Copies of this chain bind each other. A is one copy, B any other.
Amino acid sequence: MLHRIVDFSVRDVRFPTSAEQHGSDAMHTDPDYSAAYVVITTDSKVQGFGLTFTLGKGTDIVVCAVKALSGLVIGKFLQDIVGDFRGFYRLLSSDSQMRWLGPEKGVIHLATAAVLNAVWDLWARTEGKPLWKLLVDMDPKQIVSCIDFRYITDALTEEEALDILMKAQEDKQHREEQMLKKGYPAYTTSCAWLGYTDEQLKQLCTDAFKSGWTKFKVKVGADIEDDKRRCGLIRHMIGPQNTLMIDANQRWDVSEAISWVSELSEFRPLWIEEPTSPDDILGHAAISKALGTLGIGVASGEQCQNRVMFKQFLQAAALQFVQIDSCRLGSVNENLAVILMAHKFRVPVCPHAGGVGLCELVQHLILFDYISVSADLHNRMCEYVDHLHEHFTCPAIIEKAHYMPPKNPGYSCEMLESSVVKHQYPDGEVWRKKIA
């Protein structure tokens, strides 16, 4: 059965999370977790849902960009899109006039992510499979045909990518069963946002510990004394055998990052996340080199703009943990490229999640990474934040600090229509009240 895309909508949906300091860090002091939310409908009445994540103000700009891309989607047959997915990715990401606005970065790339996420959701639904399973069952040649290798062939060729996928066919079935039974390991960021008090932090950490969490991330970077106190508090509560990570959200310059994190080394963080500008490959390399001697790795990726940047972070040994994001990169297509490059460079993928919908989406990608690419769980885990899941029709399910593989067809990004209507900006009920 053919599926022709006949309708396309995009809405500006915002949640007033800043009111309670959820999501606050050293650079983003008052985020209102938001999304540009896309729904595409085919003539066969199947729908695809997609989104990209934002922090409130400016979501309207992304909505505007999504609308500009919609003309490249409406009227197309799903089969034609996925039959030449590399070509369709190129069409969206390298339109002769619009590529000036990026290319493949910032607003226009966030918009590309929202549109392509909806297309992947649609594809998985028409196949009756959750997205991770669609990918796991897909012929390696077809997977490779979804990837645009432009600008990355000096790090990964199509042949190398195919070779990686072919080798990982072995024991795939076993790993899939393992995931269905035990799930994929997760860590929590819910306990230690920068705006939380010590009391909040203690309470949340105690509760999480009781629920089976063993890996905790703390926001740092605003004040060194606060950071020492908070890291000490958490390290004391979780004990020496569990995992602590710290996240500075781009707060420092290179030398400041090195000295600040060195001062926190006594708390033995596994990684320092986003120590400096997400654009600074050579800076991250210098920080990696300096902190490597202290046993601390560098993690980044939630604001890494595209596969060309990830390629260089890997080439320069600038990251020890690759944090892919389901909404920053050009959807599944570009994430596949990054997952395969990370494998080649032997760097673990530990996805960024949280926000709104990011956990729902990225769990599919990391399941694919484990089952079909890396076959490895050492030093690998997926971020989890316990916010806003109630707005999704198929929220992420955590059991004993593990993501349990989604079973419903699609990419898990369908929101409850009632939530969308209520939180639409600026006309939804929630915002009408706030603005009044």
Which residue numbers of A lie inside 8 Å of B, CB to CB? 27-32, 54-58, 60-62, 64-65, 68, 94-110, 150-154, 250, 253-255, 276-283, 286, 303, 305-306, 308-309, 311-312, 315-316
Contacts and interface: CB of A to CB of B under 8 A. Distances in A.
Report how many copies the assembly holds. Answer: 2
**Chain A binding surface SS class:** loop
A58 B98 contact: yes
A106 B101 contact: yes
B108 A58 contact: yes
Contacts of A95: 57
Contacts of A103: 250, 277-278, 303
A306 B279 contact: yes
A62 B101 contact: yes
The 4 closest A-B pairs by CB, nearest first: A106-B106, A107-B107, A57-B97, A56-B97
Contacts of A30: 96-97
Contact of A279 (B64, B280, B305): B305
11 contacts: A28-B97, A54-B101, A55-B96, A57-B95, A58-B101, A102-B106, A105-B305, A106-B108, A150-B253, A151-B253, A279-B305
B29 A96 contact: yes
Contact of A282 (B58, B153, B281, B305): B281
A61 B108 contact: yes
A282 B308 CA distance: 10
A107 B153 contact: no
Contacts of A102: 106
Contact of A312 (B97, B253, B255, B282): B282
A330 to B, nearest CB: 13
Contact of A106 (B107, B254, B311): B107
B280 A151 contact: yes
A58 B106 CA distance: 13
Contact of A315 (B65, B282, B311): B282
A90 to B, nearest CB: 11
B279 A28 contact: no
B55 A61 contact: no
A86 B303 CA distance: 23
B97 A151 contact: no
A97 B27 contact: no
A356 to B, nearest CB: 12
Contacts of A279: 104-105, 151, 305-306, 308-309, 312
A61 B101 contact: yes
A312 B312 CA distance: 12
Contact of A57 (B98, B110, B303, B315): B98
Contacts of A29: 96
Contact of A283 (B97, B98, B106, B154): B154
A95 B57 CA distance: 9
A58 B97 contact: yes
Nearest to A30: B96
B61 A99 contact: no
